[in-house]
Amino acid sequence: MSRLILFNKPYGVLTQFTDAEGRETLADYINIKGVYPAGRLDRDSEGLLLLTDDGKLQHNLANPREKTWKQYWVEVEGIPDPSALQQLHNGIELKDGPALPARARLIEPPRLWARNPPVRFRANIPTQWLEIEIREGRNRQVRRMTAAIGFPTLRLVRSRIGQWELGSLQPGHWIEKEVSSPSRVKQAQTRKKRHRQSPASRTKSG
């Protein structure tokens, strides 16, 4: 079995265990040796981060080729109309190439903790929460996507990665789970396939 850590990364924490500038890192919250982040989350973003001691699992979760769906709750400046959301559904054009089609919809404000420091709002501009799901992991991708359709991101919280959800996990807290290693699952599937393909044994009676 492999170790999988579900961590609610607070705002301002780096997705690494050391920092030469003395900024907050994962080491300030997670005291487990031998686990590493499966993917990244920007310093100014919050929410679910997965860590594991299994290199194969880390690769599967973080590799863009695996196209694992990741869900974000995003507060933007302004209120996107259906045509703006359709651009995300179609696959928005970014400076480093077109993004894959995303899932996006307007949602009610999620029940979240207060951010420290608070988000800076402009009094005369309304805000809106979106639920956005993507299958890529480019640098600051969600923020660039909302900016490209004219609605800058004010706050971003990752709520799910694949089957793993943030749930009620509070900022700075983590839980540990044991999961099957992808390599072992693949080996078991291979053995099962070979068993199905092998001829049935026969017994002879004299």
Domain 1-66+165-182, architecture per CATH: 2-Layer Sandwich (3.30)
pLDDT at residue 4, as a whole number: 96
Cα diameter, the chain: 94
Q: Measured between alpha carbons, how far is 105 from 133 in angstroms, rounded to an integer?
A: 9
Catalytic annotation, residues: 42
State the pLDDT at residue 204.
45
pTM of the complete model beyond 0.85: yes
Inter-helix orientation angle 182-197/55-62, to 10°: 90
Which runs of consecutive H residues, i.e. helices, occur in the chain? Answer: 55-62, 82-90, 141-148, 182-197
Higher pLDDT, 176 or 195: 176
Please state the domain extents for the chain. 1-66+165-182, 69-161
Rounded-to-integer distance, Cα 159 and Cα 138, Å: 17
Is the pLDDT at 45 greater than 90? The verdict is yes
Q: What is the 3-state secondary structure (H, E, C) of 6-36?
A: EEEECCCCCCCCCCCCCCCCHHHCCCCCCCE
Other Cβ atoms closer than 10 A to 51: 24
Q: For residue 110, what pLDDT band results from cuts at 50, 70 and 90?
A: very high
Residue 50 above 70 pLDDT? yes
Domain 69-161: assigned CATH number: 3.30.70.1560
